[in-house]
């Protein structure tokens, strides 16, 4: 079992006696690596290895995947349901029956007094698709609130919105195999080697064979930027201008694919009129990339034969994240780069099953990419579940980022949080605690009893973790893979599927609605509900998925082995089958540095940590690499401000302040700092978090801050260590 550099200084896990290897799929990021977990005679998970025959990872795993089996033994797992009368009381242990009864009666009470939408639900991208589907059925068909969302609004909502606006449906069109065929890879706001290390391995393998140009657009000199052929250190928040200017050059120089545009798109004239205003000379002072370089990369992209764009949060987490995604799609549509090997738009998703929630959780609609706004889709779901179609709202309700303001306005009185931790992940995080405390009823469902949100909860449901249950995830390239149960959940912790189906039984109105109770039976429902849809699962079974090491949807009778790419025939999901070219004027509405707050604050991920560290913060082999919040600061800036390496510094924004260690590095420019997103009570105190108008996703990556030296380092260190450093 090797990781680290490919050929030298490998780290080897100690060999442990293994009784059996259990096939499963990694539960951290959306790369979707196949893992075999080694279980010893006593039934304890003791080691792990990548699956050689899995096309996604070809035997490799990153640090998180290698040590994922250690989550089963991690501390502070929830092992019994907890209940308290009010927040001044301590939690008391209770039975599942009592906890479920109390929750159902509180949901009914809140809805009876304040209306059906006064109870909100925020879920996750971490549970299985069968669980998402069942939660969606419970929420849409039984509880009936329209204020139901996933935390995926914080990471992938802009990609969803952009795909819908351009192609008529969500669904990433490309796949990892596109690396093998592309003539140019453009990566915007994606630090692939750290965020998705195994996707990066796939890219690097292809690159080493064929040496196609790799262009990385990022304000920071990330690990990916260091490995690129061209790095464009763009001014934060201006990707749209760069993309418009690239389209300008391509059209002015006649490099566009006229035939593709005419046959497969609408809107070229209006689009052309808009990009005509974005010459490279206009773009240069806005995005900080020279006109000469913009022309160069535009020509490389258009003349590559097949070119692809990947992106992550650098595009999505912006006030114009959705426009950024549409601009990428525009670029690929005018160059004929959708649906062909090596030519695609490919969002690199965050959480292991953010795709599954998009497909079947009914958060933003109804299962199988069906829409609440569409009467036929409402009628299908009503008939399929055995409810009255009038029961469904006719448009989606609030997103997670709008639910918290609605709590503040007093419109939402009760909340159910499922495997998500807004106290660390939401912008303006100190306010989130106050809002949770304002609720009349809060239920928290999580694998860890020490999750920050539980401190404000009335009921706590202990949930099983990844690998303590069976179900499927969908990865970035639409590959559905199976997560087999490796070990039993601890104590009385239950699978999310069990919790949802048992809670349903507490409601009188669920009496005539069937809730399947095994993952296999729910999967059969999903297959049926997805038949004929873009995300068609009808040709899959759990066993077939495992045997294939994952299958990419659509998978049905005519494509029994699945489909690597969408839109290969040039037919999109709008009624006339054509994609839309959409003009996108740039509106600069972000906070920018000024005299009082002179530095850009950028945020992002570390390879060893996962989101809010509820899991990785407790795994010694991961947490030891970065247990303490820090910022990257340019050495010249540090010298100018008299800041020493590893000194604690106070970072101050217009919202709040946070203490971090100073790490001196040239990865950031002199007018910028970078702070990882993972730490409780840290960077999300500072960010502005303005919302994208289409996706409602917050802008985490463009805020202005100032830096203050801290005289009393000892007290500052104590303050940092008193936070959740695990």
Residues of the shown chain interacting with ligand SF4 in the complex, contacts defined by CB under 6 A: 26, 28-29, 31-33, 57, 61-62, 64-65, 196-198
Quick one: 550 or 698, whose CB is closer to ligand SF4? 550
* Distance in Å, CB of 38 to ligand SF4, minimum: 16
Is 431 exposed, middle or buried, given 0-12, 13-18 or 19+ CB atoms closer than 10 A? middle
Distance between CA 493 and CA 106 in Å, rounded? 22
Choice between 31 and 111, CB closer to ligand SF4: 31
Shorter beta-carbon distance to ligand SF4: residue 193 or 414? 193
C-alpha–C-alpha distance, residues 333 and 614, integer Å: 41
The number of residues in the chain equals 726
For tokens 């035997």, the residue is 59
Distance separating alpha carbons of residues 70 and 35, to the nearest angstrom: 13
If the CB atoms of residues 197 and 324 are measured against ligand SF4, the closer one turns out to be: 197
Sheet with 230-232, side-by-side order of all strands: 230-232, 214-217, 184-188, 307-311, 344-347
Q: How far is the CB of 129 from ligand SF4 (least distance, A)?
A: 16
Measure the CA–CA gap between 296 and 283, rounded to whole angstroms: 14
Q: How far is CA 342 from the centre of its chain?
A: 24
Cβ proximity to ligand SF4: between 396 and 605 the closer is 605
State which residue, 125 or 237, has the beta carbon closest to ligand SF4. Answer: 125
The DSSP annotation for 491-532 comes to TT-B-HHHHHHHHHHT-GGGTTS----SHHHHHHHHHHHHTT
Phi-psi region of 156 (alpha: psi -120 to 50; beta: other; left: phi over 0): alpha
CA distance 247 to 328: 10
Smallest gap from Cβ 194 to ligand SF4, in A, equals 10
Spell out the residues 6+ positions from residue 690 whose beta carbon is closer than 8 angstroms to its own: 319, 589, 590, 591, 698, 699
CA distance 427 to 683: 9
CB closer to ligand SF4, 61 vs 535: 61
Q: Shortest gap between Cβ of 696 and ligand SF4 (angstroms)?
A: 26
Q: Considering the complex, what minimum distance in angstroms separates the CB of residue 87 from ligand SF4?
A: 36
Which of 378/479 has CB closer to ligand SF4?
A: 479
Please say whether the beta carbons of 131 and 402 come within 8 A. Answer: no
Tokens representing 67?
A: 């040590």
Whether the CB-CB separation of 230 and 200 falls below 8 Å is answered with no
In the complex, the smallest distance separating the C-beta of residue 664 from ligand SF4, rounded to whole angstroms, is 28
- Six-digit token string for 619: 């795994």
Q: In sequence order, which ranges of 335-446 are alpha helices (DSSP H)?
A: 354-360, 375-385, 400-408, 422-425, 429-438
CB 204 within 8 A of CB 228: no
The least distance separating ligand SF4 from the CB of residue 71, rounded to whole angstroms, comes to 12
Rounded-to-integer distance, Cα 444 and Cα 431, Å: 18
CB of 174 to ligand SF4, least distance (A): 18
Closest residue by beta carbon to ligand SF4: 65
Q: Which residue lies nearer to ligand SF4 by CB, 265 or 623?
A: 623
Rounded to the nearest whole angstrom, what is the least distance from the CB of residue 630 to ligand SF4 in the complex? 21
Pick 33 or 355: Cβ nearer ligand SF4: 33
Answer positive or negative: Cα dihedral of 225, 230, 236, 241: negative
Q: Provide, rounded to whole angstroms, the least separation between the CB of residue 67 and ligand SF4.
A: 10
**Residue 475: CB minimum distance to ligand SF4, A:** 8
Instruction: Please tell me the distance from the alpha carbon of residue 438 to that of residue 600, in angstroms, as a whole number.
Output: 33
Cβ proximity to ligand SF4, 458 vs 611, nearer residue: 611
What is the closest distance, in whole angstroms, from the C-beta atom of residue 149 to ligand SF4 in the complex? Answer: 24
Describe the crossing of helices 280-287 and 239-252 by its angle, rounded to 10 degrees.
Answer: 160
Smaller CB separation from ligand SF4, 582 or 607: 607
What gap in Å lies between CA 316 and CA 172, rounded to an integer? 14
Smallest distance, ligand SF4 to C-beta of residue 30, A: 7
Nearer of residues 65 and 617 to ligand SF4, judged by Cβ = 65
Token pair belonging to 708:
């203050």
């Amino acid at each position: 079992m090797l990781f680290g550099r490919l050929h030298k200084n490998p780290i080897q896990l100690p060999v442990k006696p293994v009784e059996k290897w259990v096939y499963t799929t990694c539960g951290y990021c959306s790369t979707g690596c196949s893992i075999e977990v080694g279980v010893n005679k006593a039934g304890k998970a003791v080691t792990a290895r990548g699956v050689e025959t899995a096309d996604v990872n070809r035997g490799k795993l990153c640090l998180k995947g290698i040590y994922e089996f250690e989550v089963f033994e991690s501390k502070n797992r929830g092992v019994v349901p907890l209940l308290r009368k009010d927040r001044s009381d301590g939690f008391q242990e209770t039975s599942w029956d009592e906890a479920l009864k109390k929750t159902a009666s509180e949901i009914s009470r809140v809805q009876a007094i304040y209306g059906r939408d006064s109870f909100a639900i925020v879920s996750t991208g971490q549970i299985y698709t069968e669980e998402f589907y069942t939660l969606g059925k419970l929420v849409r068909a039984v509880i009936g609130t329209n204020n139901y969302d996933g935390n995926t609004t914080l990471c992938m909502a802009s990609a969803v919105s952009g795909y819908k606006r351009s192609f008529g449906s969500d669904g990433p069109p490309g796949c990892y195999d596109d690396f093998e065929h592309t003539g140019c890879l453009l990566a915007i706001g994606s630090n692939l080697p750290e965020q998705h290390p195994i996707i990066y391995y796939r890219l690097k393998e292809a690159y080493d064979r064929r040496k196609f140009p790799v262009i990385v657009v990022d304000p920071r000199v990330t690990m990916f930027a260091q490995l690129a052929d061209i790095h464009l250190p763009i001014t934060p928040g201006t990707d749209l201008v760069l993309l418009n200017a690239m389209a300008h050059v391509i059209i002015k120089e006649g490099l566009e694919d006229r035939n593709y545009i005419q046959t497969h798109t609408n809107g070229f004239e209006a689009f052309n009129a808009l990009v005509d205003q974005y010459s490279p000379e206009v773009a240069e002072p806005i995005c900080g990339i020279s006109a000469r370089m913009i022309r160069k990369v535009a020509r490389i992209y258009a003349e590559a034969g097949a070119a692809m764009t990947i992106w992550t949060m650098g595009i999505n987490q912006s006030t114009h994240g959705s426009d950024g995604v549409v601009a990428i799609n525009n670029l690929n549509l005018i160059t004929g780069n959708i649906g062909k090997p090596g030519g695609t738009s490919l969002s690199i998703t965050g959480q292991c099953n953010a795709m599954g929630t998009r497909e079947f959780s009914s958060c933003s609609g109804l299962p199988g990419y069906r829409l609440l706004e569409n009467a036929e889709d409402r009628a299908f779901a009503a008939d399929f579940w055995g409810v009255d179609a009038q029961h469904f709202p006719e448009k989606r309700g609030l997103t997670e980022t709008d639910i918290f303001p609605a709590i503040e306005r007093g419109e939402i009185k009760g909340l159910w949080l499922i495997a998500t931790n807004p106290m660390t992940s939401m912008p303006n995080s100190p306010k989130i605690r106050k809002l949770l405390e304002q609720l009349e009823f809060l239920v928290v469902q999580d694998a860890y009893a020490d999750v920050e949100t539980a401190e404000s909860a009335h009921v706590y449901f202990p949930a099983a973790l990844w690998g303590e249950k069976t179900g499927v995830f969908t990865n970035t390239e639409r590959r559905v893979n199976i997560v087999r149960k490796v070990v039993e959940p601890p104590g009385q912790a239950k699978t999310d599927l069990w919790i949802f189906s048992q809670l349903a039984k507490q409601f009188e109105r669920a009496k005539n609605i069937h809730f399947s109770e095994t993952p296999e039976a729910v999967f059969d429902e999903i297959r049926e509900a997805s038949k004929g849809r873009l995300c068609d699962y009808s040709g899959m079974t759990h066993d077939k998925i495992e045997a294939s090491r994952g299958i990419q949807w659509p998978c049905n009778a005519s494509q029994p082995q699945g489909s690597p790419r969408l839109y290969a025939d040039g037919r999109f999901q709008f009624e006339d089958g054509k994609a839309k070219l959409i003009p996108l004027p740039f509106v600069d509405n972000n906070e920018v540095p000024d005299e009082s707050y002179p530095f850009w604050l950028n945020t992002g991920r570390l390879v060893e940590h996962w989101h809010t560290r509820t899991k990785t913060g407790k795994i010694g082999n991961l947490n030891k690499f970065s247990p303490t919040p820090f910022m990257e600061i340019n050495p010249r800036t540090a010298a100018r401000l008299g800041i020493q390496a590893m000194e604690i510094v106070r970072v101050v924004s217009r919202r709040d302040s946070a203490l971090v260690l100073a790490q001196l590095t040239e990865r950031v420019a002199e007018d910028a700092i970078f702070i990882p997103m993972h730490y409780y009570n840290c960077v999300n105190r500072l960010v502005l978090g303005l919302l994208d108008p289409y996706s409602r996703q917050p802008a985490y990556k463009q805020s202005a801050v100032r830096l203050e030296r801290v005289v009393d380092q000892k007290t500052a260190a104590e303050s940092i260590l008193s936070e959740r450093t695990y």
